[in-house]
Amino acid sequence: MPIPQLETLVAKFVSDLQAAFRANALESVQKAFGGESSVGGRRPSAALAGGENDGGWVSSGRTAKRTAKPGKRIRRNSTDLAAVEGRILEYVRANPGQGAQQIKRALRLSTKDWTLPIARLVDGKKLKSKGEKRSRVYWL
């Protein structure tokens, strides 16, 4: 096979491969933002295309949700914290002497959702604790 024909075949293969990667990447981004994934014929939404400033609103199809600005911390209100504290108290009342990892796993809490409520409960003397770090156990 002559060299020019080989070069055109390689160039066509590379361009087809790039198109496939682009389509796959676009589909992944659309799925991540809650959009429908259709590879051909559709333009990406304004948020993906860098179009009009939407003020941080993202629509998932059902309801619009406000997205957090990068670097901004989302503060929980006192009712949310009180609800988590109540769940922790109920669990510890039923299961005294368990550690943080066991309680978090049972209540399906992440560490960031656990830290402030447990500190408030211990500081407010609603819970007692014994031990250091991972060996700490809680009871009423």
- pLDDT, tens digit (0-9, with 9 covering 90-100), for 25-51: 988 888 888 765 555 555 555 545 544
Categorize the per-residue pLDDT at 75 as very low, low, confident or very high, splitting at 50, 70 and 90. confident
Same domain, 125 and 87: yes
Tell me the residue range of the domain where 38 lies.
Answer: 3-66
Does residue 138 register a pLDDT over 50? yes
| The domain boundary residue, chosen from 22, 43, 66 | 66
* Domain end position, chosen among 66, 96, 112: 66
Distances (CA, A) of 133 to 1, 79, 84: 70, 28, 21
Q: How many residues does the chain have?
A: 140
Residues 99 and 121 in one domain: yes
Task: Report the chain's mean pLDDT, rounded to a whole number.
Answer: 81
Which residue carries 């700490």 as its tokens?
Answer: 136
For the question of whether the overall pTM of this predicted structure is more than 0.85, the answer is: no
pLDDT in tens, 80-124: 999 999 999 999 999 999 999 999 999 999 999 999 999 999 999
- With a cut of 60, say whether residue 70 has pLDDT above it: yes
